[in-house]
């Protein structure tokens, strides 16, 4: 293994460790911010992943959320503060030319209504987030994007159900 590959592996490992630690902290402190959210609007940004269809991913994520018992609504303007969240999924494929592997980075964030500290004004802020970094074969980009997005959406659905027990 070349020195560059070793450095690349070490950096990726450190990123994954930091992400995992942030994930635990985020889940402990932000789960309560999902309480009272009655529906979500879904948006997908595939950025540098041209082989993956944004509209197909949005449809698949919306279906998965519905199957988990979460109401999916179209984005409203003006938004209903306090009850509707906006779930964004960002997919990035970082490729290195001449190699059969690449890094897949997927981030999910829920933007929701919050009350600003020290006032009664409402604003929109990130109220839940999670992400994954994985090394994948370039021949499996579409499959891996879907599998990893499903994992993150399932994680969101568990946190949502826990915060909104009926």
Question: CA dist 91 to 22, 30, 45, 86, Å?
Answer: 19, 22, 6, 16
pLDDT of residue 48: 55
- Name 45's Cβ contacts closer than 8 Å, sequence gap at least 6: 54, 88, 89, 90, 91
Q: Which of 123, 132, 116, 128 is nearest to 162 (CA)?
A: 128
pLDDT at 56 over 90: no
State the Cα–Cα distance between residues 155 and 166, nearest whole angstrom.
19
Instruction: Please provide residue 79's backbone torsions phi and psi, each rounded to the nearest 5 degrees.
Output: -75, 150
In this structure, what token pair is assigned to residue 57?
A: 């991913």
Listed range (5-9, 127-131, 159-163) with the worst mean pLDDT? 5-9
pLDDT of residue 43: 84
pLDDT of residue 122: 80
In the chain, what are the domain boundaries? 3-163
State the Cα–Cα distance between residues 6 and 53, nearest whole angstrom.
33
CATH class of 3-163: alpha beta
Listed range (1-10, 35-44, 139-148) with the worst mean pLDDT? 1-10
pLDDT at 82 over 70: no
70 upstream amide cis, omega within 30 of 0: no
Determine what percent of the chain is predicted with pLDDT higher than 70: 69
Question: Strands 71-72, 84-95: parallel, antiparallel or unpaired by DSSP?
Answer: unpaired
Determine what percent of the chain is predicted with pLDDT higher than 90: 19
* pLDDT tens, position by position, 87-104: 899 998 887 656 788 888
pLDDT of residue 26: 43
Note the residue count of the chain. 166
DSSP symbol at 139: G
Q: Which of 148, 152, 151, 153 is nearest to 134 (CA)?
A: 148
**How many other CB atoms are found less than 10 A from the CB of residue 121?**
9
């Amino acid at each position: 293994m070349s020195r560059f590959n070793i450095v690349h592996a070490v950096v990726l490992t450190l990123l994954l460790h930091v992400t995992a630690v942030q994930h635990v902290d985020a889940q402990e402190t932000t789960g309560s911010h999902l309480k009272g959210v009655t529906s979500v609007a879904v948006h997908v940004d595939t950025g540098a992943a041209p082989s993956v269809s944004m509209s197909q991913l949005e449809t698949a994520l919306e279906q998965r959320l519905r199957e988990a018992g979460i109401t999916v609504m179209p984005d409203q303007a003006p938004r209903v503060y306090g009850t509707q969240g906006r779930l964004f999924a960002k997919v990035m494929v970082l490729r290195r030319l001449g190699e059969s592997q690449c890094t897949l980075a997927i981030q999910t964030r829920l933007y929701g209504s919050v009350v600003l500290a020290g006032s009664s004004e409402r604003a929109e802020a990130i109220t839940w987030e999670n992400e994954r970094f994985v090394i994948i074969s370039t021949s499996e980009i579409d499959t891996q994007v879907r599998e990893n997005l499903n994992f993150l959406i399932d994680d969101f659905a568990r946190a949502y159900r826990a915060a909104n027990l009926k």
